[in-house]
Amino acid sequence: MTDALRVGLVGYGSAGRGIHARLLREVGAQVVRVVSRNPDRAAAAGADWPGVAVDGDVAALLDHAAELDVVVIASPTGEHVAHVTAALAAGLPVVVDKPLATTADEAAELTRLGAEAGGRLTVFQNRRWDPEQLTLRALLEAGELGRVHRFERRWERWRPVPQDRWKENDTRAGGLLLDLGAHLVDSAVQLFGPVATVHAELRSLTTPAVDDVFLALTHAPRGDGPAVLSHLQAGGLVGAPGPRTRVLGDRGAYLVTSFEGEATPFAALDAGADDGHEGWLVRGDERVPVPRAPGGHPDFYRAVAAWVRDGGPVPVDPADAVLTARVLDAARVSAAEQRVVPLG
């Protein structure tokens, strides 16, 4: 076994190249095989990873399973079931991009297969390693906000002319509910626990797939505090995005005004703040910068290396992705039937 983690990467588009390959390079992993039928993407893989082998399909890549330490599935969501199933059958550990699958039933079946294969499946919920998420978790653990009663997070953009990709056009496996919604729900559950009820408003304003999402989640109460309500929003037709995150408690609020350079008028609130802060602790007109917690997205793949090579803990339990999928399934029912959906 070489020192570098040997990776087979399925898909070399915006996720495979733009996210996974970038993070893998940052942690010193080596992409040795790529699956792509697109000549431009195959050429890009060759330029990015000299000597990489480019396969036309997943079966061809898995014929070389002995050359790989892990397979990363960054194909369209509708292909996850087939690709994950094949990679697990080949005996390899598997990282699959979120969402794990298009429905909770599919996600549960993949999780079962992963468990039967010795726990060789994890899900790329990289937003658990966002600086704002890490900083917020530290604030909550320190009790700075007191008893929290509301969590708001927005993933809003001003893109009146949408992109023309499977994510925008596939009404079953694409759309913002499954794409950004999977991140938003996972973040809320990680912070505030299981979801008891779901109310959703879903629309398609500029694309065939859903591109306007509002979710209202009620979390199961903890102790004698109030049930936390999570309001989660995603949209591409938002001329005034933000604020990104607002968390309300009985001792104060946590406010993140902007996110990853997306344009928002609320970013003006950050003027004069140093680069080492991540949001604000707010009490009325009092606003104090919060030091950024250490960590970032590359830590996911550092955890993958420890999981694959040293028997470390699974970076993200696929059972968590099943819970997220149940919330997203309930959101579709709620929007279609215009009712609150309870989760048992």
**Residue-range domains of the chain with CATH:** 6-126+297-313 (3.40.50.720), 128-291 (3.30.360.10)
**pLDDT band for position 2 (50/70/90)?**
low
pLDDT of residue 243: 93
pTM confidence score? 0.95
271 vs 11, more confident: 11
Q: What is the pLDDT of residues 14-45, one digit of tens each?
A: 999 999 999 999 999 999 999 999 999 999 99
**297 Cβ neighbours under 8 A, 6+ residues apart:** 23, 126, 129, 130
Q: Which two tokens stand for residue 65?
A: 């399973």
Mean pLDDT of all residues belonging to the chain: 95
Q: What is the pLDDT of residues 111-154, one digit of tens each?
A: 999 999 999 999 999 999 999 999 999 999 999 999 999 999 99
CA atoms within 13 A on the CB side of 169: 5
**170 Cβ neighbours under 8 A, 6+ residues apart:** 76, 77, 78, 208, 209
272 vs 314, more confident: 314
* Residue 192 near residue 148, CB atoms below 8 Å: yes
26 vs 262, more confident: 26
Residue type, 67: E
Q: Is the pLDDT of residue 1 over 70?
A: no
Q: Which two tokens stand for residue 81?
A: 């079931």
Closest C-alpha to 237, from 168, 158, 179: 158
Beta bridge partners of 148: 249
Q: Which two tokens stand for residue 49?
A: 């990873």
